[in-house]
Structures are given as C-alpha cells and as structure tokens.
C-alpha cells in the first residue's frame, strides 16, 4: 500500500497523532471556541512550512488587515518576511477581483475567484482561509456549505 504524503504541522505531538502531519491534498478544518488560537495555529503551520519546509503558503484573513495580523503573529515569535508566504486581507481581495460590476458577488465567490486567479500566476502548496464563519456571515447564499465546497 502506498504511503500518503503528509504536511508537517511542526508540532511534535500533533504530527505523531496525525501519523506525520496533515494529509497532502486534503481540506482541513481547524475549529474551536473564540480565542483558542485557531488563527495562530493555522498561520504557524504555514509559517513553519515556508521557513523550514520550503513550501509556499497563502494566508487569507477576512477579519483583520494584513498589518495588524502580522503584528499579532510577531508577538508569537513568527517574525520576518518570507518569499514563500503571502498574506492577503479582504481589502486586497476586493481590489483584486476583476469582474463585471453588473454581477453581485458574495464573499465566497470573491474569495474563490481571487484564489483561482492567483493560482494561475503562482503555485501555492498550502492555503488558509480564516475565519470560515466570516464567509458565512458576510454572504447571503441559500446553501453556504455547497458554495464553500466548490473551492
């Protein structure tokens, strides 16, 4: 049987429990109560993989601006820029989505179009969209689960 490739979390016990890390090519959901550091965990995985694992990561923050988010991560020791790690916020997405203004786009579609367009120009090994509930709360759709699934 072929062994599945894994993406390390760089958290020793977590990687042990996950049999080496997160299965490559999968979608993973980090969930928990407000303030339990879900964003920090997700960014840490991208940061460590960019700095130590040589993987390219994209972090999309829908609630914070890039500057504030970077400051927050610096307080946790994740300091410095990396060519392998990009951070974008909702303002960047609004500016970057080039579509006919006659069509109203919900946030889920905007993020999807932005990521699709970006992936045509650059390859990313890991992508984080944070927080998922922002996609739902800032979007009026009949079936949000179906919309998100189309990523």
Torsions phi, psi of 61, nearest 5? -105, 120
By DSSP bridging, strand 6-7 and strand 85-89 are unpaired
Give the domain ranges of the chain.
6-149
13 vs 138, residue with greater confidence: 13
Task: State pTM to two decimals.
Answer: 0.84
Instruction: Convert the pLDDT of each residue in 92-137 to its tens digit.
Output: 988 877 665 555 677 788 888 899 999 999 999 999 999 877 766 6
Q: Residue with structure tokens 């739902």?
A: 136
Give which of 68, 62, 73, 88 is closest to 148, Cα–Cα: 62
Structure tokens at 85: 């790690």
Residue 124 and residue 49 in contact, taking contact as beta carbons nearer than 8 Å: no
Kindly report whether the peptide bond that precedes residue 22 is cis, defined as omega within 30 degrees of 0. Answer: no
Q: In angstroms, how far is the first alpha carbon of the chain from the final one?
A: 29
6-149: CATH homologous superfamily?
A: P-loop containing nucleotide triphosphate hydrolases (3.40.50.300)
Torsions phi, psi of 141, nearest 5? -140, 155
85-89 sheet: strands from edge to edge: 85-89, 57-61, 126-130
Rg of the chain, C-alpha, whole Å? 16
Instruction: Convert the pLDDT of each residue in 51-91 to its tens digit.
Output: 999 999 999 999 999 999 999 999 999 987 788 999 999 88
Instruction: Convert the pLDDT of each residue in 26-43 to its tens digit.
Output: 999 999 998 999 999 999
Q: Which helix (H) or strand (E) holds 126?
A: strand 126-130
Residue 128 and residue 46 in contact, taking contact as beta carbons nearer than 8 Å: yes
């Amino acid at each position: 049987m072929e062994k599945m490739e894994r993406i390390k979390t760089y958290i020793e016990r977590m990687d042990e429990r996950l049999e080496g890390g997160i299965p490559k090519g999968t979608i993973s959901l980090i969930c928990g109560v407000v303030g339990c550091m879900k964003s920090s965990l997700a960014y840490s995985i991208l940061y460590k993989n960019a700095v130590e694992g040589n993987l390219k990561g994209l972090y999309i923050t829908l609630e914070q601006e890039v500057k504030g988010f970077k400051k927050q991560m610096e307080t946790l020791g994740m300091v410095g820029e990396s060519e392998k790690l990009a951070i974008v916020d909702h303002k960047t997405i609004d500016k970057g989505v080039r579509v006919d203004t006659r069509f109203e786009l919900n946030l889920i579609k905007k993020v999807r179009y932005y990521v699709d367009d970006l992936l045509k120009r650059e390859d990313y090994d890991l992508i984080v969209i944070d927080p998922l509930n922002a996609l739902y709360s800032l979007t009026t759709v009949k079936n949000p689960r179906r919309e998100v699934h189309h990523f």
